[in-house]
Each structure stands twice: as structure tokens, then as C-alpha cells.
Amino acid sequence: MVPALRAPLHTTAPNAESKRKRAARLRRNANLAQRDVKQRLFEMSRPDPVLGHQLTAEGEALWKNSELAKLILSKGEVWGVEEDRRGRLVSVEPKEHPDDATVDAEAAIGGPRRLNFGLDADARRTLFQSLPRVMVEDRILDSPNINSLHSEGIEAVAAEQNELEAEQERSVETLSRILDLRNASGKGIQVENTRRIIAHFGARDDGRGIDTGSPEVQAAVFTYRIRNLVEHLQGARHDNSNRRAMRKLVHKRARILRYLKSTDPVRYQDFLPRIGVEARAVEGEIVVPGKPKVKRI
């Protein structure tokens, strides 16, 4: 008898993968690993959610070249001095501002170079130009010698006018010292900076006044207040109340900027460099870091 032919035995298991499947699996794993590395690098390069830019030289340049940074006045710049790390007072050189020419022109009218209490150019003209003149004229009209036709009476009126003008000059000098922004507290400087931000970012393109509630004004004011709190918290690490207020402002700024993006994307992209904020700092999930830890020696 001729033995029946049998099928050859397969030594490979049924679930063993082929070379093609193995190569595909390795490529897929390599792609996933590469994507994970890119995602980690992307997250590491994410801008600081509080300051709004990366903590690098490029990020600092973005802030320093922004309109907001050039517009606001720092405390050291207003007071002329600031404390160094050792607590010593050092002089601060004033920086250039976009409205320096306007400020110098207004200061020529009278009074200090920068006014406190949110006073504007109209208030300056009233206080340092119109009011002294009206005071002198009013008191001259009450003089008993005003109706005299004799030369002695006229000379007396002239002498009285000179005395009154000198008195008003002293009053103007005293009022200038009182209303000088250099005598303001930190809160007063914040009020002045807020007024400048509203006037700059709230100006309408059609010239119809100032829009104080525009997204640009709100985002710029939020950014200024956030940076004020960051500066404060650097020396007051345990001020949890202001740290919580800073977190709220960060999320408020993100919401108002996302609203601006949804209504006008072009306007949104043009506005971010004006306040020194990167788009990635206000988009997506925002995680504000907590209290920094101090290394114990």
C-alpha cells in the first residue's frame, strides 16, 4: 500500500504576527512616542498664563515693545526712586512715553508735569490759568480805589494788582505741589494709569468719543492689574487674598479675549501684541500656578 500524502505541518502559531504587521506596529509606536515628545515640548514652551508671554528674552521683548508697557507709569518712575534688593533707594531714569509731547505742552500752561487725581488738560487750564486770573480781577473790582480818578488811586490799584498777582503765584505753586503725581500713593498711580489706558485703548476709530467698555479696554486694564499684583506678590508671598484676586483676573482676561476672538478674529490677532500677550496664554485650558515653594537650606 502506498501511504496517503499528508499536509505539511505549520510550526507558526495562528496568532503570530507577520513581518509586515510587526513593522507597522513598530512604526505606529514610534510615531506615538514622537508625538508625545512633541506634545511635551509644546507644553513646556507654553507661555506663562499670568504674564501672558514666555519667560524668555523674546517674551520679555514682546512685553516691553507693547503699547501697554510704553503707556503705563511705574511707581519708581513717578517717584524717581525705587528700592533695590538690599533695601537701598536708587534713582530711576524715566522712560519715553507716547504722550510726552502732549504732557510737555500741557505743563507749559502751568502746574506740575503730571497731575494727580485723574485731572485732565481742561482741569489744568481752569486751575492754573483761568482761576488765578479771575481771582485777581474779582478782588481788584472790590478794591475801594477802583473808582478813583486820581493818580494816587490808580497807582494804588496797580500796586494792589501786583500784590494780588504775586499772591496768586504763590497759591499756584502750593497747588502744584499738592496736585503733583509724584506725591501720589500707589493707588493714585494706579488710577492715573487706568485713565491713560482707557483714553488710549478706548478711542473709537470714527472719532465718536471713548468706548470705556470695549473688550480692548477691559483686557488692557486686566493685564495692568495682573502685573501690578505679580509685582506685589513677589515681596508678599503669603498674601493669599491678592493671589486669589490675581487668578480671577487672569480668567476674566481670558474670557474677554476669547469673546473678542469669536466676534472679530482679525481684531483679536491685531490686539494681542498691543498688550504683550501671546495667544496660547489665553486659549485652551488655563492653569494658574499656586504659591511658589521656598527651598529650605
Q: Which residues of 131-162 are buried (b: 16+ CB within 10 A; e: fewer)?
A: ebeeebeeebeeeebeeeeeeeeeebbeebee
- More reliable by pLDDT, 107 or 67: 67
Is 202:194 a contact under the CB 8 Å cutoff? Answer: no
Q: Hey, what's the cell of 260?
A: 473678542
Residue 82's CB is within 10 A of a number of other CB atoms, namely 14
Residue 9 has pLDDT above 80, yes or no: no
What's the pTM?
Answer: 0.74
Please give the backbone phi and psi of residue 206, each rounded to the nearest 5 degrees, phi first: -85, 5
Q: Quickly state the pLDDT bin for 248 (edges 50, 70, 90).
A: very high
**27/30 Cα distance (integer angstroms):** 5
Express each pLDDT in 108-161 by its tens digit: 888 888 888 888 888 888 888 888 888 888 888 877 766 665 666 677 778 888
Residue type, 79: W
Instruction: Give the model's pLDDT for residue 68.
Output: 94
* Average pLDDT of the residues in 284-289: 80
Q: Is the pLDDT of residue 225 over 90?
A: yes
The architecture (CATH level 2) of 48-80+184-281 comes to Orthogonal Bundle (1.10)
